[in-house]
Structure 1
């Protein structure tokens, strides 16, 4: 566990939240991830090892999917099945497209054919097969998987939570300036982040959201994620 390397930063960032919102976080039981889990991203990646921050928007709107990490759907168990990508991955459009991009980036597939049939034929013995392994591989590459709102209550409150967490994220970014992590920004949310925060101090890598099919063959995504070997055991 590595939250200790974050302790000072996190206590400063938490202190920057409005008192009323702090009270809500401490007393309410209806949001998720739970109080015990919403800071999970800081538990497993030490501050000094952060090379990138991948910013998601807010947690998945399902309790079983939201585990305290951006982009990691904890409802997904296996990544693959006998017929290609697993049913759970296929249902999660962003994850499905991300997996296909990672298969292209690792030269296992070509952009001409990322079908289930093509994935079925791959030798998967050297590949990971759990969402947790994917999360660990992100972290081995120094990618902090962080949402700009760390909790979810309901869709109509998303903007409210993003606004409430803004001082926390700003304090965190100020503290991370010396580490100079690159910021990975997906889709329209990237524009919002650039408008809300002073990001000129950081190198930003902006990509369309993986929800878009074009993400699979985006040369910038392939160049960024290819060397990370995210699917290797």
Structure 2
């Protein structure tokens, strides 16, 4: 794992020793997890430590090889966000959390009325100033200083999610702790991230924004969520 860990931006001081030796051996010897070994630490590859203003906690990588990218909420199976007819692309609709996040971002911009989230309403929008590439969305997150970090960096199967989260917990906590001097804000999506925050005093020294997970449809019209993300204008090209 040493060589993999070094494949990140040099500004990060990643401490692999916070991961148990048995789990490191699992990561070295197995290939039946996603994302691939070389992509596990991608969140630390493209955003410099000193540029981090927020840490957005996802839960697990997407449970599909093409989708898991090493970034929370960035689905590698999505090429274009919008289809040729102007609606959300099929791959976006398949990724429920991403779909709801895009709809929320459209509401936050004032382009979409929260009382009409239909495909027809989305299709009718003028998208000339919108991004349409999933990696542009990742770039816009990072431009706003958002570290897209899952609380478990690999996925094998649903029954093992708690196991992986526990194995990554010390590493995640230790890495976030090193951001203390920057006064970053934590974005806690759903009960998993919120429970992690509530049970760890080392996280509670950070300000936090908590809400339901984007998997829930109520996320789209949550006024607190809309107000929080509106200044980021994440869909602006």
Q: Please give the range of the TM-score, normalised by the shorter of the 2 chains.
A: over 0.9
For the residues of structure 1 that align with 2:86 and 2:236, how far apart are their CA atoms?
20
Partner of 1:84: helix, strand, or coil?
Answer: coil
User: Contact 1:54–1:184 at 8 Å: present in 2 too?
Assistant: yes
TM-score by length of 2: 0.93
Deviations 1:179-207 (A, max 9, x none): 12100011111332124422220001001
Aligned partners of 1:127, 1:83: CA distance in 2, in Å? Answer: 11
Distance of 1:83 and 1:142 partners within structure 2: 29
1:2 deviates by 6.0
**Of the candidates 13, 20, 23, which is equivalent to residue 21 of structure 1?**
23
1:146 to 135, 149, 153: 149
1:220 to 219, 224, 228: 224
**Is the CA contact (8 Å cut-off) linking 1:152 and 1:158 kept in structure 2?**
yes
Deviation at 1:5?
A: 0.4
For 1:157, the equivalent position in structure 2 comes to 160
Counterpart position of 1:103: 106
Cα distance per residue 1:136-192 (max 9 Å; x no partner): 100000000000110111111111110001110111122111112100011111332
* More displaced stretch, 176-185 vs 45-54: 176-185
Q: Which one of 52, 58, 61 corresponds to residue 60 of structure 2?
A: 58
Are 2:62 and 2:68, in contact at CA under 8 Å, matched by a contact in 1?
A: yes
Once superposed, what is the RMSD of the aligned Cα atoms?
1.3
Corresponding residue of 1:47: 49
Task: Kindly state the Cα deviation for residue 27 of structure 1 after the two structures are TM-superposed.
Answer: 2.1
1:190 aligned counterpart, secondary structure? helix
2:80 is the counterpart of 1:74: no
What SS does the corresponding residue of 2:32 show, helix, strand or coil? coil
CA distance in 1, matches of 2:152, 2:97: 19
* Aligned 8 A contact 1:2 1:42 in 2: yes
Cα distance in 2 for partners of 1:91, 1:157 equals 23
Tell me, in whole angstroms, the C-alpha distance in 1 between the residues paired with 2:163 and 2:22. Answer: 13
Shift of 1:231: 0.3
Give the one of 170, 173, 176 matched to 1:173.
176
- Higher mean alpha-carbon deviation, 123-132 vs 85-94, is at 85-94
Query: Where do 4+ consecutive residues of structure 1 move more than 4 Å?
Result: none
Aligned mates of 1:18, 1:212 — CA distance in 2:
34
Instruction: Say if 2:88 and 2:119, in contact at 8 Å, map to a contact too.
Output: yes
Query: 1:83: how far off?
Result: 4.3
